[in-house]
Amino acid sequence: MTNSAALYIHIPFCKSKCDYCDFFSVTKNPPWDDFVSSILREGTMRKAEFGISHLTSVYIGGGTPSIIPDFFLDKLLSGIFAEFSADENCEITIEVNPDDCTKDFARFLAKSPITRISVGIQSMNDAVLSQVGRRSTAEKNISALENLEHFCSEKNISADLIAGLPFETAESLMSGLRAILNFPLEHISLYSLMVSPSTPLFDKINERKISFDEDFSDELWIRGRDFLLEKGFDQYEISNFCKNGKISRHNMTYWKGDNYLGIGPGAVGTVDNLRYENSTDVANWILSPGLCSTEILSEENKIFEFLMLSFRTKWGMNLQTFEDKFGRKLSDEKLSVFKKWMDKGLLSTESTRGNFYLNTDGMLFLNKFLEDLIATD
């Protein structure tokens, strides 16, 4: 174990919850002073617990982190970097709701140590946004991007969109993409709608109050992907596209299987073979920030996660990296799966470097590829 890791900070509070969201969040009035103090207490505790004192990246997610008052966000960041050292070019990301991205907030972000701002656009269709309970409109989305372009031109700005939301059409998705690409965005996350059973959207679909066509959702995502590729974006991960190498370095921590700390209610951390998940009882977590469940990951679990996450990226997996990480070669049975998918034209290789990766068409079949790999266990 090294003394370095990425850090994820979960801010679970929202003004309202979107119908499709299955991330842990609450709409209670946040006790910001106590909450931020407990975040910093947990950071100190995790540092001592795992011997991690240096941060490679920081990601503030939620929930809706952009509702935290400026004073408390400044206190949070100052406290974290008083406790931990960090890379000189440490990537520090915050998720923001466009509705919160006023000129004043953009000015604050411009002066803050945050280096990367992820804006939850989701759709540029007002009917779509209203249907799923988004606290924004197409006009507010544009206003947020204008404010960030004007005040935060030195920051890396990313936008999130979801293909397949109710009432989204091919025309509205494509016009929305064209509209946001009028801004100097160098990172786009484009997700295909996943309907979780624990969400109001699932209930509405199940009760036939809303129709949902999974095939159409996938078709929309492919059209969006093709458009981004035509516009010069690099698909470096299934759902993530960038220009000029502006990848999400924090998310690469997950995809490479490196260590990361998680602090805040509901946050997850993984250090070596230990994974912990913090309590989602906010009041109890504030009193006892270390309250969590733990899991010891078996080697087989770690191997599966390594393969699953590696093949989400354009780099795929490297045979020597696998051997260095697990102290053994990849099995002949799994290599035979590689050959089968290469014969299909869906898996490619850089044989001299020992790299195998799903190509653009192959990425569409990641789940089937993983099923074939699992069948060899």
Q: Is residue 289 part of a domain?
A: no
Q: Do residues 330 and 239 share a domain?
A: no
Query: Residue 13 forms beta bridges with which residues?
Result: 26
Listed residues 217, 236, 254: the one ending a domain: 254
Q: Is residue 273 part of a domain?
A: no
Q: Do residues 8 and 82 share a domain?
A: yes
Span 307-361, pLDDT tens digits:
999 999 999 999 999 999 999 999 999 999 999 999 999 999 987 788 999 999 9
Helix/strand/coil for 354: coil
Q: Do residues 79 and 209 share a domain?
A: yes
Whether 12 has a pLDDT exceeding 60, the answer reads: yes
**Would you state the pLDDT for residue 28?**
86
**Would you state the pLDDT for residue 81?**
97
Q: Alpha-carbon torsion 253, 11, 17, 67, what sign?
A: negative
Q: Do residues 105 and 210 share a domain?
A: yes
What's the number of CA atoms in the CB half-sphere (13 Å) around residue 364?
A: 12
Question: Which residue do the tokens 């990367």 mark?
Answer: 116
Report the distance separating Cα 296 and Cα 279, nearest Å: 17
Number of independent structural domains in the chain:
2
Span 13-70, pLDDT tens digits:
999 999 999 999 999 889 999 999 999 999 999 999 999 999 999 999 999 999 999 9
**Would you state the pLDDT for residue 290?**
87
Return the closest-CA partner of residue 64 out of 110, 119, 140: 119
Q: Do residues 35 and 163 share a domain?
A: yes
**Would you state the pLDDT for residue 2?**
77
Other Cβ atoms within 10 Å of 149 Cβ, number: 15
Q: Do residues 230 and 326 share a domain?
A: no
Quote the tokens at residue 36: 């931020």
Listed residues 224, 254, 284: the one ending a domain: 254
The amino acid that residue 301 corresponds to is N
Whether 1 has a pLDDT exceeding 70, the answer reads: no
Q: Do residues 189 and 329 share a domain?
A: no
**Would you state the pLDDT for residue 48?**
97
Q: Do residues 324 and 250 share a domain?
A: no
For residues 136-160, average pLDDT: 97
Span 210-268, pLDDT tens digits:
988 889 999 999 999 999 999 999 999 999 999 999 999 999 999 999 999 999 999 99
Strand positions, DSSP E, 164-259: 187-192, 234-237, 240-242
Listed residues 235, 254, 273: the one ending a domain: 254
Q: Do residues 63 and 131 share a domain?
A: yes
Quote the tokens at residue 200: 């109001």
Report the distance separating Cα 12 and Cα 63, nearest Å: 4
What's the number of CA atoms in the CB half-sphere (13 Å) around residue 136?
A: 26
**Would you state the pLDDT for residue 264?**
98
Report the distance separating Cα 69 and Cα 126, nearest Å: 27
Confidence of residue 369 (pLDDT cuts 50, 70, 90): very high
Q: Do residues 333 and 214 share a domain?
A: no
Q: Is residue 197 part of a domain?
A: yes
The residues, any chain, with a CB within 8 Å of residue 177's CB and separated by 6 or more, are: 161, 224, 227, 228
For residues 180-186, average pLDDT: 96
Span 271-294, pLDDT tens digits:
999 999 999 999 999 999 989 999
Q: Do residues 199 and 318 share a domain?
A: no
Q: Is residue 263 part of a domain?
A: no
Report the distance separating Cα 69 and Cα 76, nearest Å: 11
CATH code of the domain in which 328 resides: 1.10.10.920
**Would you state the pLDDT for residue 321?**
94
Decide: pTM greater than 0.85.
yes
Report the distance separating Cα 16 and Cα 25, nearest Å: 9
Report the distance separating Cα 21 and Cα 36, nearest Å: 24
Question: Which residue do the tokens 């006023």 mark?
Answer: 102
Q: Is residue 17 part of a domain?
A: yes
CATH code of the domain in which 19 resides: 3.20.20.70
Q: Do residues 69 and 169 share a domain?
A: yes
Q: Is residue 293 part of a domain?
A: no
Q: Is residue 68 part of a domain?
A: yes
Can you give the residue range of the structural domain that contains 30? Answer: 4-254
**Would you state the pLDDT for residue 351?**
73
Span 118-141, pLDDT tens digits:
999 999 999 999 999 999 999 999
Other Cβ atoms within 10 Å of 265 Cβ, number: 28
Confidence of residue 197 (pLDDT cuts 50, 70, 90): very high
Q: Is residue 356 part of a domain?
A: yes
